[in-house]
Structure 1
Amino acid sequence: MRFTSEQHLDGGVLERGFTLGEIPGILWTPASASPSEPVPLVLLGHPPLGLRRMHPRLVARARRCAADGFAAATIELPGSGDRPRWAALEQARADLRRAMEAGEPVGEEIVDALVLPLVDKSVPEWRAALDALLALPGIGGPVGYSGGVISIGVRLAVVEPRIVAAGLFAGSLVPRSVFEEARRVTIPLHVLLQWDDEGNDRQASLDLFDAFGSREKTLHANMGGHTGVPRFAGEDAAGFFARHLRQPQAGPGGR
């Protein structure tokens, strides 16, 4: 990991850009972080729209994490932002747009081509970033995962034991195989669903929530479309992470 930029935000939050190999990322740390008192970490997932475009929303989420005493970090997804173009992914996105503009059902072939390669490539990158982040002075875990592509969150919740809690945004473009992975998820979950999301199959989201194997899982459903998430929903998510990242963590058997 190599830091490429640094700026101080209000409230003592330090924002640093970094690269991990060729992968760009951003780390935010609160003023309270120190080698003697390392803080928990929240990985901030996001849609594949590019870090530059997503930066204002990511900063807002990171500020809330810092206010709660947590560091926050994110990385650029494959094929997005300043990373090399990914022809297969761009073709899958084009196929999705054509189907939606024509009012046609989005078939499993399109969903699989759009999501599964992204999950397969990005999850190892998130884990490599986590290795590097937890090696930094002042960051010690435990670790939470928040938002982004729900299928990436599901895979990380299954394969990454350092993630002890996840907040997920419900979406219906979920491959059938991810439903099977969801049954293996056992960490606490906080799932946000916009009831009238114009791009979301509500029943598919409910089916995925039902599939999760976690003993503690909470569904927060709010009226409104995709961009109509109420402000208090963020407060609920922050409370979820405060509960699970501040308390003593159980061993592997407690996942």
Structure 2
Amino acid sequence: MQFTSEQRLDDGILEREFTLGEIPGTLWTPESTAPVPLILIGHNGGLHRRESRLVARARQSAAYGYAVAAIDAPGHGDRPRSAADEQARADLRRAMQAGEPVDEIFESFIGPLVDKTVPEWQTTLDALLALPEIAGPVGYSGWTAVGIRLAVVEPRIAAAGFFAGGYVPRAQREEARRVTIPLLFLLQWDDEGNPRQRALDLFDAFGTKEKTLHANMGGHTGTPWFEVDDGDRFFARHLK
């Protein structure tokens, strides 16, 4: 892991950009004399790890006493997109505009992306936990499809918060039954891109006995800010 820049923000949070091979990332750490727990923030939809809502969530959690890390998944943010990525996105836009079914397009695009992204998160986790200012346990917050796979294959993940928005491939819907860690699941009741019943069925499928569903009115990007505070308290119960 190579740190490429750092700055101390007004709230005392140290923000550092890093690279790990081809993986670009950002790490936020609080002012602390002792190692702190770690939260990994995942994002999808082609978003950059520097997207304003994600950065705001990261800084809030860092102020709560966590180290927080985000990376750009393959084809996201600063990373180049392959011709296949561009074609899949074009096919998706065309199908959505035409009102055609999009499940198979999502499946062919998101499924392989999960397979590529999870090993990169594991590599990043190895490097982060080697830093003296960070200690376990580890939480995960964000992109549901990647989070399900991580929760199943990565024993260092002790708790997770998932956002119901976004397509979850069939493989991860099956894997959800093997998720046994504490879970907080956020659902926007009127999410225009995520059928409500599909999200409720996924929540029901999770195998953990400690799972909580928070449903709020509004569309895909309307998650209330107080859910960030509730998420930090959820992680405090399991990471601190």
User: Under a length normalisation based on structure 2, what TM-score does the superposition of the two structures give?
Assistant: 0.96
Cα deviations across residues 130-152 of structure 1 (Å, max 9, x unaligned)? 0000000110111000012x110
Structure 1 residues 31 and 172, CA, compared in 2 at 3 Å: closer, same or farther? closer
Decide whether the 8 Å contact of 1:78 with 1:86 is kept in 2.
no
Q: Find out whether 1:18 has 2:10 as its counterpart.
A: no
Cα deviations across residues 106-139 of structure 1 (Å, max 9, x unaligned)? 23x2121121111000000000000000000110
Instruction: Report the Cα offset of residue 172 of structure 1.
Output: 5.2
The residue that corresponds to 2:42 in the other structure is: 45
Cα deviations across residues 69-117 of structure 1 (Å, max 9, x unaligned)? 110001111012221222222222222111111112223x212112111
For 1:5 and 1:172, the matched residues in 2 are separated by: 32
User: Out of 92, 95, 98, which is 2:94 matched to?
Assistant: 98
Decide whether the 8 Å contact of 1:41 with 1:144 is kept in 2.
yes
For 1:12 and 1:241, the matched residues in 2 are separated by: 21
Task: Read off the aligned partner of 1:153 and give its amino acid letter.
Answer: G
Map residues 132-171 of structure 1 onto 2, 5 A cutoff. Answer: 132-148=127-143, 150-171=144-165
Instruction: Report the Cα offset of residue 156 of structure 1.
Output: 0.4
Task: Read off the aligned partner of 1:46 and give its amino acid letter.
Answer: H
Gaps of 5+ in 2: none
Decide whether the 8 Å contact of 2:27 with 2:67 is kept in 1.
yes
Instruction: Report the Cα offset of residue 50 of structure 1.
Output: 2.0
User: Out of 118, 124, 130, which is 1:129 matched to?
Assistant: 124
The residue that corresponds to 1:206 in the other structure is: 200
Gaps of 5+ in 1: 247-255
Partner SS state of residue 11, structure 2: helix
For 1:57 and 1:232, the matched residues in 2 are separated by: 13
Decide whether the 8 Å contact of 2:39 with 2:139 is kept in 1.
yes
Partner SS state of residue 12, structure 1: coil
Decide whether the 8 Å contact of 2:18 with 2:24 is kept in 1.
yes
Bigger Cα displacement from structure 2, 217-226 vs 171-180: 171-180
Decide whether the 8 Å contact of 2:35 with 2:135 is kept in 1.
yes
Map residues 77-92 of structure 1 onto 2, 5 A cutoff. Answer: 77-92=73-88
Map residues 160-239 of structure 1 onto 2, 5 A cutoff. Answer: 160-171=154-165, 173-239=167-233
For 2:58 and 2:221, the matched residues in 1 are separated by: 19
Bigger Cα displacement from structure 2, 226-235 vs 207-216: 226-235
The residue that corresponds to 1:120 in the other structure is: 115
For 1:232 and 1:68, the matched residues in 2 are separated by: 14
Identity within the alignment, %? 71
